A = this chain, B = another copy of it.
Amino acid sequence: MVPVKKLREPDENLVRQKEAAFADFIQRKGLKTTRQRNTIISTFFRLRGHISVEELLNQVKQANPRIGYATVYRTLHLLVESGLVEERRFGDGLARYEGHSDVEHHDHMICLECGEIFEFFNPRLEALQESLAEENNFQIFRHRLELYGACKDKEACQRRKSRSSVAAQAE
C-alpha cells in the first residue's frame, strides 16, 4: 500500500530525453548552448537523489575543474525554470535539487538520524488537502509536506535517537 518510491538508477534514455528537453528550452529562450551547461546538466541528470549545489559542483569538477559555483547556480536556476528540476529545502540550510524521471508530485519523509529521504505519494492525502483548501476558499498552487523522524527498522537510527533525542533543526 502506498509504496515508498525507490530511487531509480537514472535511465540512460531518459537522461538523453531530458538533455534534449533542456536544449529545447535553451533555444526557445534564445539562450546559447555552452560546454559548461552541457557538462552540468548531464552530470546532474545522471545523479540520483536530492542533490546539493556543492555535491553537484564536486561531480562537475571531475569533468571540468574550471567550472565554478556561479555557473552551477545559474544552470540550476535554468533547470528549475525549465520545469525539469525541482528545488527542495529540508531545513538543513541547503537548497537541494531533484530531476525526477517521472513528473509526478511526491512528498518526503526525512530520517533525522541517518539522513535518508523516503518519497511517497498518497492520493487521499492530496485530495484531503484540496478539500480543506476548498472549505477555506483557498486555491492551492503547490504544497509541501515533510515528515521528520526516524527509520524504525534501522537499529542505528533507533539507538542514536535514544541519546541524542530529537536532532535540532538548523537552517
Chain A residues within 8 Å of chain B by Cβ, number: 41
A128 contact set on B, CB distance < 8 A: 122, 124-125, 128
A1 at the interface (CB under 8 A from B): yes
Q: Which of B89, B143, B147, B152 contacts A171 (CB 8 A)?
A: B89
Pick from A13-21, A28-36, A52-60, A131-139 the stretch touching chain B: A131-139
Contact A112 B141 (CB under 8 A): yes
Contact call A147/B152, Cβ cutoff below 8 A? no
B143 and A145 contacting across the interface, CB-CB below 8 Å: yes
Residue ranges of A at the interface with B (Cβ–Cβ < 8 Å): 1-2, 4, 87, 89, 91, 95, 109, 111-112, 118, 120, 122, 124-125, 128-129, 132-133, 135-153, 166, 169, 171
